[in-house]
Amino acid sequence: MNVGFIGLGRMGSGMAARILEGGHDLAVYDVMPASTASAAAAGARVASSVADLCLGREVVITMLAEDAAVQAVAFGGGGLRDSLPAGAIHLAMGTYGIATIRALVAAHAAAKQTLVAAPVLGRPDLAASGQLGIVSGGPDEAVARCEPLFKIIGRLTFRAGTEPEAASAIKLANNLVLGCAIQAMGEAFSLVRKYDVMPQVLYDVLTEGLFSAPAYKVYGKIIVDGSYDRAGSTIALNLKDANLIIAAGDIARVPLPSGNTFRDRLLGAIAHGDAGKDVAALALEQARASGLES
Amino acid sequence: MNVGFIGLGRMGSGMAARILEGGHDLAVYDVMPASTASAAAAGARVASSVADLCLGREVVITMLAEDAAVQAVAFGGGGLRDSLPAGAIHLAMGTYGIATIRALVAAHAAAKQTLVAAPVLGRPDLAASGQLGIVSGGPDEAVARCEPLFKIIGRLTFRAGTEPEAASAIKLANNLVLGCAIQAMGEAFSLVRKYDVMPQVLYDVLTEGLFSAPAYKVYGKIIVDGSYDRAGSTIALNLKDANLIIAAGDIARVPLPSGNTFRDRLLGAIAHGDAGKDVAALALEQARASGLES
Amino acid sequence: MNVGFIGLGRMGSGMAARILEGGHDLAVYDVMPASTASAAAAGARVASSVADLCLGREVVITMLAEDAAVQAVAFGGGGLRDSLPAGAIHLAMGTYGIATIRALVAAHAAAKQTLVAAPVLGRPDLAASGQLGIVSGGPDEAVARCEPLFKIIGRLTFRAGTEPEAASAIKLANNLVLGCAIQAMGEAFSLVRKYDVMPQVLYDVLTEGLFSAPAYKVYGKIIVDGSYDRAGSTIALNLKDANLIIAAGDIARVPLPSGNTFRDRLLGAIAHGDAGKDVAALALEQARASGLES
Amino acid sequence: MNVGFIGLGRMGSGMAARILEGGHDLAVYDVMPASTASAAAAGARVASSVADLCLGREVVITMLAEDAAVQAVAFGGGGLRDSLPAGAIHLAMGTYGIATIRALVAAHAAAKQTLVAAPVLGRPDLAASGQLGIVSGGPDEAVARCEPLFKIIGRLTFRAGTEPEAASAIKLANNLVLGCAIQAMGEAFSLVRKYDVMPQVLYDVLTEGLFSAPAYKVYGKIIVDGSYDRAGSTIALNLKDANLIIAAGDIARVPLPSGNTFRDRLLGAIAHGDAGKDVAALALEQARASGLES
C-alpha cells in the first residue's frame, strides 16, 4: 500500500518502522524534521509538507499527542482535508477526544475521504515490536482496507463499531479504568502506611491475588520504589487524557465521579510540581494529601 | 494442635474442614447449631457455648461476618476474654475494622491472651480447597504458632507486621482497591454504552490488556452479562466493608475520595433496591445515574 | 419546673444561667465539678452524681459534646435510664447522631421515660443571651411540657416532628449545609487567588450579593484574614459532626457527595496539623491542595 | 458616549434600555433581528452587522450566553477585532471562560484595542432596573472610561484587578459557590426527607439562621415547592458555567471537588431529562440518587 505517516514520536517511529518492514511504500512527515531521520534511513520518503505527503496515498496515519495537533494537520491550509485524494483514508491512531473525532469525520466526509479511528494500546516498546493493541472504529469497508496495517502494527485488533468515535470512547474508557486503578492504589498505599505496613507487602497481596495484571504490577512497583522520576506516561500527559475523558462524559451526559477524583489528583500533583513525573505519582499526591509527605 | 473454631458459615466451614483433614483436634461453635453438622460428621467436637469451646484450646479461630458478632463473642459474659486459657491465641480471620481489632488486642492482653489477626483473601471455593491468601498481623512468636494452621488453610501467607491492625489495614486496602476497580468499570461501561459500543468489546480490551486479572474478569463478566442476581459478595456486605474502610481512613486521617465514591454508589444501589445483588451492580447503579436504566 | 442540667460547658453554662433567671428550680451536674461553680453561685443545686441529679426532676437536659458522653450518662449504672422518675423527660439538646438518638428513645421508653431531642443552633454568646435556635423532635405532649424552657433558652423553636431523630436529622443537615458552604468558599478563594485576585474582593462580591448571610460573612472573614487560630468551632469538632452526618446518610441510604468532600478536607486538615484551628481552615487545606501553601 | 451593544437577550435588553435612558448614543446588533425591536423603539440605531455597529464606537458591549458566540463575534471576518476603531474598548459583560478572555485580550491588544471584562451578577429583573452587580477587570484607564456605563447598569461595582481574567475568575467563583450551595441543599433536603421531616421546616431553619440570604431563600423555596419547571437559570445553562469553572481550575491547577459534584449532578439531571428545569432541580437529581423519586 501507499501509506503516509505523520507524527514520528516515540510511538510513531516504532509503528512506521514496522510498516516499512512490512514492505509498504511509506512517506513520512513531522514538524520536527529530525524525527524523520530513522524512517528515512529505513527507506521512507520524507515529505516536505502535509500536502506533499498526501500525494497518491491510500491511507495517511496520524499519531500525534494532542487534539490541537491533529486538528492543525487536518484542517489547516494544505492539510489532510485539502490534500488527501478522494477515497483515501485518514487513519487516526492517536488518542483523540470525541469532539475532535466528530469534526474529523464531518470534514473528511465533505471531502469524500474517510476517517478511521484506531487508537492503540501499549507503550513504545510494544510499538517497536508490533505488539500493540488496536481498537478500530469506522465503516466496515474502510476498516477492512486498513487491516493489513493493523496486522503488522498490532497483536490484537478490537472492533469498536462503525463510528470512529466508538473507538475513541473505548480508548478513553480504558485510560479511565487505568487512572482510577492507580488512584485507588494511591489511596490504599497511603492507608496502610499509616498503619506501619511496608508497601511491598500490600503490593504482594494485590498482585498475587485479584490484581495480577500489568496495571497493578507496573504502577504498583513504581509506587513501592518511589521511582516517579523515570516517567513512562507523565502526569501532564494523563491530564490531557483525563480532560478528554471528562469531556466525553460531558457530551454523553455520564457523571464520572471516580474520573473526577483521578483528574483532581492530577491537578494537585501538577500544582505541587510533579507534572513531569510518572502518572504513578498520583500516589505521591495522595500521600501528600494524607500528611505523609512534607 | 487443639483448635477451636467459631463461625461455620460458607467460608468457615471450608476452613474448619481443612483443619480437621490436617489432623488437628477441633472443637466448633456456631450460634446456628445446624451449621456445625458437617464439621461434626468430619470429627469435630461440637461445643455447647463459647466457654465450653475454649476449654484447653491453644488457638481459637473466629470467622464471623460482622464486627458486632466478634465483639459479642469476645467480650460477652463467658466469651473469649473470660474463657480462653492464659497464653492462648485468638486468631481472628474475619474482616474486622481497626477499632474492633484494637479493642480485641487490649482485652486479650489484659487477660494474658494474644490476638493474631489473619484475614483471608478468597471465596468459599478457595476456602474449601485450602487455597486462600492469608494476611497475618501479630507478635512474631504467636504468628509462628499459627503457621501450621495457615499452611493447611492457605496457599500464600503475607506478613503484615507485629500489630494485628496492620493485617486488618491490608485487607481493607485490598477491598478498597477492588471496590474502586468495580466502580471504575461501571463508569467505563456506562461511558462506552452511550457511544453505542457493545460492552463485550470493552471487556475484551480491558482483560486482554492492562487488566488481565480476576478482579476485572470476574466482575467485568457479571457486568457484561447483567447477571447481578447471582451474588457472590453482595452490595450490602460491601457496604459493611466500605464503612470499615472509611473508618480506617478516619482513624488514620487519610482522605479516601475514590473510597467515598465506591461507598456512595453502594448507598445508591441499596436505595434503589439492590442490596442483595452482587457488588458488580455498582455498574447498574452507575448506569442508572447516567440515565441508562429506567 | 424542677429541672436538671448535665454538661456545663461553654454552651451549657449559658443555657443553665437562663433557666435559673427564668425562676426554675435547677440542679446541675458535670464530670468536671469546677464547671458547676457559676451555676451554683446563681442558685443551682450541685448534684453529686447523675442519680442524685435525677431525684424529683421533671426534665433533665443533657448538653454534651460527644455521643459517647451522652450514652455514658444515660446508659451507665446509676445513669438517666436507671434514675429518672417514670414520666420524666430527658431533653437532649446536644448534637447527637441518629443511632444514639434511637438508642436513647428505646431505653427511655422501656423505663417509661420520654426522650425529647432539641438540638440548638448558635454559639455561646447566643446561648448566654437566650437567642439560640431550637429544633424540637418528640411526642407532642412531651414537647409541650418543654416549651417554657425553650422560650427562655431560645429565640425561635422549629418543630421537626414527633420522632426525636427528626430533630437530629435537621441539625445534622444544617451542619452539612454549613460545612459545604465553607468548603465551597475554600475552593472559590483558592481559584481566584491563582488569578491574582485579592480575597477581600471575592468576599465583598459574595456577601453583598447572593450570600449576604452569617455563614459567609463569619467564615469568609476568617478566610480573608487567615485568622484560623481563634477557633470558634474547630476542625476536630467538625469531624465529629461530619461523621454523624455521614452515618445519618448511611442509615437512610442517602449518598452525600458534597458531605464526603467536606469530611475529606477535614481529615486532610487534621493530617496537616490543623485539628485545633477554626473550621474555616478548610480553606487553608484547600489552598494546600492547590499548591498555594507550602 | 458612543456605545455599541451586541446580544439583546433577557439580560442584554434590560441593560441596553438603561444605557439609552442614560442619554448615551447606542447602536445595537443581534443575530436575531427581532431582539433589537424594543431597543430600536427606545431610540437605538439598529446595525446591520458587527462591522456596521463598530463604526465610530468608543465602547462595544457584548452580552452573549456562550463563549463560542463571543468568539465568533470577535474573531470572525468583519468582527470586533477587525472593525473596532483603534483605542476603542470591547466591554465583555457575559460570563466567559478564562481561555476565551485570554484570547480576546491578545487579539484586541494586537489591534490596539482594549478588552475590559465586566461580568454582571443578577437576573433580568435587576438588569432592567439597573441594580446589577458588576465585577470589572482590565487596565485602570480603560475601566475608568467604562465607569459611567457601570453606574447606570449596576448598583455596585467590584474591582477585580487590572487583568480582565481576574473578573472572569470572580464571576466563576461566585457561580461555583452558588452551585455548591444548591447541591448541598439538595443533599440536606434528601437527608431530612428520609427522616420524615417536612422540607419547609429545614427551609425555615436554614433561612432564619446562618443562611438568611437570597441563594438559600430563592433556590430553597423552589426545592420546597418542587416548582422546577419555571426556570430562572436552567440546568443546561449551569452546565455551561460549570464547565467554565472546571476549565478555570484546570488552567490554574486547582482541584475543585465540590465543583465536580455540582457538575456531576448537572450531568445526571440532564441524563434524566431535566436540562430545561431550574438549576434548583439539582435537588431533584439528588433525591433521585437517594431513591426518593421514581
The arithmetic mean of pLDDT across residues D178-187, rounded, is 98
Give the whole-number percent of chain B exceeding pLDDT 70: 100
Among chain C residues, the shortest Cα distance to B272 is held by C253
**HEC-encoded secondary structure of chain C:** CEEEEECCCHHHHHHHHHHHHCCCEEEEECCCHHHHHHHHHCCCEECCCHHHHHCCCCEEEECCCCHHHHHHHHHCCCCHHHHCCCCCEEEECCCCCHHHHHHHHHHHHHCCCEEEECCEECCHHHHHCCCEEEEEECCHHHHHHHHHHHHHHEEEEEEEECCHHHHHHHHHHHHHHHHHHHHHHHHHHHHHHHCCCCHHHHHHHHHCCCCCCHHHHHHHHHHHHCCCCCCCCEHHHHHHHHHHHHHHHHHHCCCCHHHHHHHHHHHHHHHCCCCCCEHHHHHHHHHHHCCCCC
Choose, out of A264, A265, A286, A288, the residue to mutate when testing the contact with D (most D CBs < 10 Å). A264
pLDDT score of D64 more than 90: yes
Residues of D in contact with C194 (CB under 8 A): 169, 252-254
Contacts of A286 in chain D (CB under 8 A): none
Q: Assign domain A2-161 to its CATH superfamily.
A: NAD(P)-binding Rossmann-like Domain (3.40.50.720)
> Which pLDDT value is given to residue A294?
59
Residues of D in contact with C247 (CB under 8 A): none
| Interchain CB distance below 8 Å, D243 and A250 | yes
User: Mind listing the pLDDT tens digit for each residue in B67-94?
Assistant: 999 999 999 899 999 999 999 999 999 9
B59-71: burial string, b at 16+ Cβ within 10 Å, e else:
bbbbbbbebebbb
pLDDT in tens, A193-224: 999 999 999 999 999 999 999 999 999 999 99
Q: Most C CBs within 10 Å: which of A265, A286, A290, as the mutation test of the C interface?
A: A290
Percent of chain C with pLDDT over 90: 97
Please write down the HEC assignment for all residues of chain B. CEEEEECCCHHHHHHHHHHHHCCCEEEEECCCHHHHHHHHHCCCEECCCHHHHHCCCCEEEECCCCHHHHHHHHHCCCCHHHHCCCCCEEEECCCCCHHHHHHHHHHHHHCCCEEEECCEECCHHHHHCCCEEEEEECCHHHHHHHHHHHHHHEEEEEEEECCHHHHHHHHHHHHHHHHHHHHHHHHHHHHHHHCCCCHHHHHHHHHHCCCCCHHHHHHHHHHHHCCCCCCCCEHHHHHHHHHHHHHHHHHHCCCCHHHHHHHHHHHHHHHCCCCCCEHHHHHHHHHHHCCCCC
Closest residue of C to B256, CA-based? Answer: C264
Domain extent listing, chain C: 2-162, 169-289
Q: Respond yes or no on whether ipTM tops 0.90.
A: yes
Contact B197 A170 (CB under 8 A): yes
Tell me whether residues A202 and B165 touch, CB distance under 8 A: no
* A-to-B residue pairs, Cβ atoms closer than 8 angstroms: 229
> Chain B residues with CB inside 8 Å of A212's CB?
212-214
User: Around Cβ D23, how many Cβ atoms within 10 Å?
Assistant: 11
Mean pLDDT of chain A: 97
3-state SS of B92-127? ECCCCCHHHHHHHHHHHHHCCCEEEECCEECCHHHH
Q: What is the pLDDT of residue D171?
A: 98
* Structure confidence at residue C4 (pLDDT): 98
The pLDDT, as a whole number, for residue C33 is 87
Chain-chain contact of B289 with D273 (C-beta, under 8 angstroms): no
Across the interface, whether the CB atoms of B290 and D268 are under 8 A apart is answered yes
Query: Scanning every residue of chain B, which has its alpha carbon at the shortest distance from the alpha carbon of C271?
Result: B253
For D215, the 3-state DSSP assignment is: helix
Distance from CA of A86 to the nearest CA of B (A): 28
B264 contacts on C by Cβ (under 8 Å): 255-257, 260
Q: What is the pLDDT of residue B33?
A: 87
In this prediction the pTM is: 0.96
Question: What integer is the mean pLDDT of D193-214?
Answer: 98
Dihedral sign for Cα A197, A203, A208, A209, please.
positive
- CB atoms C289 and A273 under 8 Å: no
pLDDT exceeds 90 at position A255 = yes
Please tell me the predicted confidence (pLDDT) of residue C258. Answer: 98
Q: Dihedrals φ, ψ of B89, to 5°? A: -115, 130
Tell me how close the Cα of D168 comes to any Cα of chain C, in angstroms.
9
In the prediction, which pLDDT does B143 show? 98
Q: Which residue of B has its CA nearest to C274?
A: B253
Residues of chain D contacting residue B257, judged by C-beta atoms under 8 Å apart: 257
Closest residue to D289, CB basis, from B273, B289, B292 = B289
pLDDT surpassing 80 at residue B294: no
Q: Hey, are the CB atoms on C289 and A268 less than 8 Å from each other?
A: yes
Q: Which among A243, A250, A268 has CB closest to D250?
A: A243
**Mean pLDDT across the stretch D217-242?**
96
Q: D269 vs chain B: nearest CA distance in angstroms? A: 9
- Nearest CA distance, A98 vs chain B (angstrom): 10
**Per-residue pLDDT tens for C234-283?**
999 999 999 999 999 999 999 999 999 999 999 999 999 999 999 999 99
For residue C258, give the nearest of D161, D183, D195 by CB distance: D183
Q: Tell me, what's the pLDDT at C284? A: 98
C198 confidence band (pLDDT: 50, 70, 90): very high
Mean pLDDT of C146-162: 97
Q: Subunits that touch chain D (at least 3 Cβ pairs < 8 angstroms)? A: A, B, C
Which residues in chain A have their CB less than 8 angstroms from residue D268's CB?
253, 255
How far A72 CA lies from chain C's nearest CA (Å)? 29
Angle at A265 between CA A261 and CA A270, to 5 degrees: 150
* Cβ contact, residue pair C271, B256, below 8 Å: no
| Structure confidence at residue D208 (pLDDT) | 96
* Cell numbers placing C133: 435556635
CATH number attached to the domain at C169-289: 1.10.1040.10
Smallest Cβ distance to D196: which of C161, C185, C258?
C161
**Whose CA is closest to C132, among C96, C156, C149?**
C156
At residue C231, the pLDDT reads 83
CB–CB contact B257 C243 (8 Å): no
Is C294 a residue whose pLDDT tops 90?
no
Q: Count chain B–chain D contacts defined by CB atoms under 8 A.
A: 20
Q: Above 90 in pLDDT, residue D232?
A: no
User: Which is the CATH superfamily of the domain at B2-162?
Assistant: NAD(P)-binding Rossmann-like Domain (3.40.50.720)
pLDDT of residue A231: 83
Nearest residue on chain A to D254, judged by CA atoms? Answer: A267
Handedness of CA C96, C102, C108, C114 (dihedral sign): positive
Helix ranges (H only) for chain D are: 10-21, 37-41, 50-54, 67-75, 80-83, 98-110, 124-128, 140-153, 164-194, 199-207, 214-225, 235-252, 257-271, 282-289
